Amino acid sequence: MNGHRVLAAAGAGLFTPLTLFLVVVCLCFLLCLISGMASDTASDFYAAERSLSAVRSALSLCGDFIPVTALLSPIGTVALSGYDSMVLAAGACAALIVLLVLAEPLRNTGRFTLGSVLETRTVGAAPRIAGTVLTLVICVPLIVVQLTVAGNVITYLLGLKAPAAAQVCTVLIGLLIVSFAAFGGMRGTSMIQAGKALLVFGTVLVLTAVAGKRFDGDFGTMTREAAVGGGGAEVFHAPGGLFGGTAVGTLELLSLGLTVLLGSAVVPPILLRIGATRSGRTARRAASHAVVLVTLFYGGLVLLGLAAAAAVGAGVITGDDPQGNTTLFLLARALDGGSVGGILFTMAACAVFVTALASVAGLTLATATALSHDVYAHTLRGGTVPDRRETTVARWATVAVGVASVFLAALLHGWSIVFLASFAAAVAASVILPALVYTLFWKDFTRRGMLWTLYGSLACCLVLQFFSSAVSGSPSSLLPGHDFHWFPLQNIALVTVPVGFLLGWAGSRLELRTPAGNTRGAAARTRMSAGVD
């Protein structure tokens, strides 16, 4: 990444972004500390005593739904590949419609972790253990990717080119985030996520307005100039810009679109957030508000991508970063008149910083909650742990998960690990979504069907991803010097999502339901319909 040396810029230009960043960090830490001081009970630490309103929950859901990769990547991919990336942006908007369907019955279960929701339909420790395994498989790769991208962005903004600079930045920002999650719990992370959503929306709105003014409010002109800057209208507005126009490329785009559509809305932090709302009706209202907000957000990102293609150009973008992750900063600098210390550049930098802080804090909290609540409190101690002790264990679990993730992010720096984000979303779409849909809506779902879905589909995801071209066989693979792939797609959801639903159906049909299972299922359906405190 050919970062521009902010340290060599004028004193005021450097002072403004860094000072504002430090102010934002201090405010975030103060909010987490104040909020976390009241989190003495497990219910408060995990779910804020289920007291979040619809508006606050909607903003927090938006914050959970927008990781740092979702803020940086779409602008660059729209600028570089045009049509395909706009289709994916539309899929991302539609993803929250999935959550809109699930939100009310999920909240009505009265549970807030994946394992505890699955336990409503069967007895024993298996659902909670499986839910924890899946939470780790999904959240840890996402944390590593978020920390890696955040470290690279900070290195880029500071203009540091030393080999270990990105690793040092990753470790520092990671440890900072760990303290946020450990101190703040659900109340603190909710405040940070809501504040992040407002800051990110404001930044996108201001940049979109300035970009529109640059083209005199004529978005037709912007689109035409974007096509010129992106390689020509016949390329920019045609399918195939992201993966090529071949049959495999088309399947790749469909698979990635399915991953984004079905997986993004059921990752564990969002399930935890739904459990913190006041009621099932509040959860449904929060999800409906979030759909509108996220649609506007991605619409703004598409316009910014077009503006970047028109005002910056694909050649400059790929020259600065072949993946296009620095496009937001290049556009902000161009709209600022070339200054790296201008107000737009500063706003973009702070939005990225806060996005990284909030996203990783939410993922870390969700992982620690599964470990402390499902494994320690209920599986190992049979649900007899005092509240204060469980809260203490949850805080230490947050620290342990955070430190381990920071270590992995530093260790894997320089590796091509961006595919881990799509893998985590594919696991959510292929494993969590079928399990939740069957648990919430199918009366004949059995314990065997649940375990077949959870472990069978997870095994399918791991095998196909390991033998895909994302791991070996291409210059951009995780192991570019090796080639043992036989699965032709980098994105696996096109195969694994149907497998997940099929395994749940087959396992349930092959198991005879017992009277006790029927009674438990009927009680669960009644609870999901009526809701519980």
Ramachandran angles phi, psi of 41, nearest 5°:
-105, 155
Q: Is residue 299 part of a domain?
A: yes
* CB neighbour class for 360 (10 Å; exposed up to 12, middle 13-18, buried from 19): buried
| Cα 26 to Cα 23: distance, rounded to the nearest angstrom | 5
Ramachandran angles phi, psi of 267, nearest 5°:
-70, 150
Are the C-beta atoms of 486 and 452 separated by less than 8 Å? no
The CATH number for 44's domain is: 1.20.1730.10
Tokens of 475: 């210059």
Ramachandran angles phi, psi of 49, nearest 5°:
55, 25
Are the C-beta atoms of 432 and 113 separated by less than 8 Å? no
Specify the pLDDT at position 496: 95
Tokens of 507: 């396992």
Q: Is residue 519 part of a domain?
A: no
Among left, alpha and beta (phi > 0; psi -120 to 50; other), residue 502 is: alpha
DSSP H helices, 264-324, are 268-275, 280-311, 314-320
Q: Is residue 168 part of a domain?
A: yes
Ramachandran angles phi, psi of 498, nearest 5°:
-60, -35
Tokens of 127: 């659902």
Low-confidence spans in the chain with pLDDT less than 70: 1-40, 47-49, 162-163, 184, 338-341, 513-533
| Cα 332 to Cα 345: distance, rounded to the nearest angstrom | 5
Q: Is residue 327 part of a domain?
A: yes
Name the nearest CA neighbour of 491 among 427, 416, 401: 427
Ramachandran angles phi, psi of 480, nearest 5°:
-65, -20
Are the C-beta atoms of 368 and 189 separated by less than 8 Å? no
Q: What is the number of domains present in the chain?
A: 1
Q: Which residue has the tokens 């069967």?
A: 122
Half-sphere exposure of 140 (CA within 13 A, CB side): 17
Name the nearest CA neighbour of 138 among 501, 420, 466: 420
Q: How many CB atoms lie within 10 A of CB 293?
A: 18
What residues make up the domain containing 259?
6-420
The secondary structure of 453-514 as a DSSP string is IIIIHHHHHHHHHHTBTTTBSSTTSSBTT-----B--S--HHHHHHHHHHHHHHHHHTSPPP
Indicate if the alpha-carbon torsion angle 132, 135, 139, 141 is positive or negative: positive
Q: Which residue has the tokens 């959970």?
A: 64
Q: Is residue 407 part of a domain?
A: yes
Q: Is residue 266 part of a domain?
A: yes
Look at residue 528 and give its three-state secondary structure: helix
Q: How far is CA 221 from CA 217, 314, 318, in A?
A: 9, 17, 23
Q: How many CB atoms lie within 10 A of CB 445?
A: 28
Q: How many CB atoms lie within 10 A of CB 478?
A: 19
Q: How far is CA 499 from CA 249, 382, 406, in A?
A: 22, 33, 33
Residues with Cβ within 8 Å of residue 414, at least 6 apart in sequence: none
- Tens of pLDDT, residues 245-273: 788 888 988 999 899 889 888 999 998 88
| Cα 227 to Cα 220: distance, rounded to the nearest angstrom | 11
Specify the pLDDT at position 45: 74
Q: At what angle do helices 457-466 and 419-427 cross, to 10 degrees?
A: 160
Radius of gyration of the chain (CA): 23
Residues with Cβ within 8 Å of residue 335, at least 6 apart in sequence: 207, 210, 211, 214, 307, 311, 344
Name the nearest CA neighbour of 174 among 397, 366, 418, 406: 406
Q: How many residues does the chain have?
A: 533
First to last CA, the chain: 51
Q: Is residue 435 part of a domain?
A: no
Specify the pLDDT at position 460: 95
Helix, strand, coil % (nearest 5) of the chain?
75, 0, 20
Look at residue 52 and give its three-state secondary structure: strand
Q: Is residue 305 part of a domain?
A: yes
Helix or strand holding residue 168 (H, E): helix 165-214
Specify the pLDDT at position 212: 85
| Cα 511 to Cα 152: distance, rounded to the nearest angstrom | 50
